[in-house]
Structure 1
């Protein structure tokens, strides 16, 4: 089963949320519906980056690593993948 590590944002260089899920489409819809306090409060609704992983442990390690990164590194990762910080939901497998 594929697991995804993902970043959602409120706007370019705005508030972000890093998470992981085995059903990323469903998770993005839940964020957009405001089911998590942080994403609802900060209007985080745009999927700007994601990365597939083959197993749970690899995705967990990557998520924890990204959460420890400096904000500038996270912004650079997003910008390299998605220069305009546009919604990437259409690119999900």
Structure 2
């Protein structure tokens, strides 16, 4: 399984502004959605697929799992 610590590290890097791209450009700091996978290959494929979805689909996915858009960082660090 892709370790949760990898997600913690990745979220920390984004929150700290270490990573160029969308999250840094728009100052996004909250983790509002994540999925766990047994295989890194499946995780990468899912991430690639979601990146190409229309925004409305992504919002529906988040709202279905996190209707208040709570920051889930504490969930993955505890």
**TM-score normalised per structure 1:** 0.73
Tell me whether 1:28 sits opposite 2:14 in the alignment: no
Bigger fraction of residues in helix: 2
Indicate the RMSD between aligned Cα atoms, in angstroms.
1.7
The answer for unaligned runs of 5 or more in structure 2 is none
- Cα shift at 1:56: 1.2
Tell me whether 1:76 sits opposite 2:64 in the alignment: no
**Bigger RCO of structures 1 and 2 (CA < 8 A, at least 6 apart):** 2
The alignment partner of 2:35 has SS state of strand
Q: Which residue of 2 aligns with 1:61?
A: 45
**TM-score normalised per structure 2:** 0.85
Q: Which residue of 2 aligns with 1:89?
A: 73
The answer for unaligned runs of 5 or more in structure 1 is 5-21
Bigger fraction of residues in strand: 1
